[in-house]
Amino acid sequence: MKLNKYFIIAIVATLAVGFQSCGEKSNANGNAKTDLTVSVATVKMENQPEILSFSGKIEAETHSNLSTRIMGQIAKIYVESGQKVKKGQLLVQIQDKDIQAKKLQVKANMLKAEAAYNNAKKDFDRFTVLFEQKSASQKEMDDVSTNYNMAKAELEAVKQMEEEVNEMLQYAAIKAPYSGIITRKYMNDGDLASPGMPLVAIEKPGEYKVIARIPETEISKIEKNDAVKVKISALNNIEIEGMVTEVNPSALYTGNQFEAKIVLNPTKEQKRKLFSGMYANVMIKKGGMPSIMIPKNVLVRKGQLTGLYTVSQSGTAMLRWIRTGKSTDNMVEVLSGLSDGEQYIVSYKGKIWDGASVVIK
């Protein structure tokens, strides 16, 4: 009986050991590590060109606000906004009845002054000969000379007045200083025009510039003759080449923003599509400082944090948090968190996590 009892115990123990051994093999197979194959890139600090970007507005290179130098009622404005005009074409006429009346008066005075001058000159010439022949006294010569000089001065004064009247008539007729397009009409028929007040605006098409606004932190980087690329959003971001021709050193009237003038060099087709008032994005490439640039697609974002996977010395993926800076279309600058010569993971197959065992391809 005891023999049977010991026999049963031995069988049970043997089976238990067998099951335990099988369990260990199964557990080992279940927990077997599978290395993740990854591709890596090595961090390299290089001098990256700095792309400065500013907003701006297109203006015609030649544009003018036309005004008058006299005060008067507008008799007629002959143009409308958008109308093409030729050099010398009459644009605005100011009522000039008073000036015309003054011109008639000056003309009458001119006739009198010319007659008086001619008579005085004849007397002067005649008495000069008599005086040289000692046939006229000194007093007679002095009287004739005085009369002649007065007549001459009066004639000069009337001529000066005539010039002033003619100038006033020119100011009453506002003409196009060059061939161009009327871009704005400030006043209407019957309005009162005064000196310096704009009446119409005109610009010469085909020659355009961009006035860019530059913050005070960037103005020291902009120099005359810098090459520029300008994108026009209204024209599907077409790119036009240009050059900085002027940098305003004062921001007194522009709210801590400086102005730079950029002359555009558009193609014939681009020139046809440009109009004053269009908004532009100005880009200037400058030599930058040494920096680290990585592809945007390797970034890992968790909330407000940005990171990427690197390879640790033990051969595992390690999530590294970094601070990024300026970016281009597909690259981003790393300001901190990554050093020159380090490797970071750029691609992998499968799922990756912090601490995953990896094999570099």
One DSSP character per residue, 276-309 reads TT-EEEEEEEE---EEEEEEGGG-EEETTEEEEE
pLDDT tens digits along 84-141? 999 999 999 999 888 888 999 999 999 999 999 999 999 999 999 998 988 889 999 9
Strand partners, 41: 344
Which SS3 state, helix, strand or coil, does residue 27 take?
Answer: helix
Structural domains present in the chain: 36-48+290-360 (2.40.420.20), 54-61+205-288 (2.40.30.170), 70-181 (1.10.287.470)
pTM of the model: 0.57
60 dihedral zone (left: phi>0; alpha: psi -120 to 50; beta)? beta
Helix (H) or strand (E) holding 168: helix 138-172
Residue 30's pLDDT is 40
Locus of tokens 């005075």: 109
Give the mean model confidence (pLDDT) for residues 325-344.
90
Query: What is the mean pLDDT of the segment spanning 327-355?
Result: 91
d(CA 267, CA 265): 7
Three-state DSSP at 150 gives helix
Residue 319 · residue 306 · CB < 8 Å: no
- The two structure tokens encoding residue 82: 């958008």
Distances in Å between the alpha carbon of 216 and those of 48, 54, 79?
23, 12, 42
Q: How far is CA 40 from CA 228, 309, 344, 350, in A?
A: 36, 10, 5, 15
Higher model confidence: residue 48 or residue 157?
157
Tokens (6 digits) for 300: 């890992």
Alpha-carbon distance 224 to 261, whole Å? 9
> What does the pLDDT look like over 4-37, one tens digit per residue?
444 344 443 443 434 343 433 333 344 445 789 9
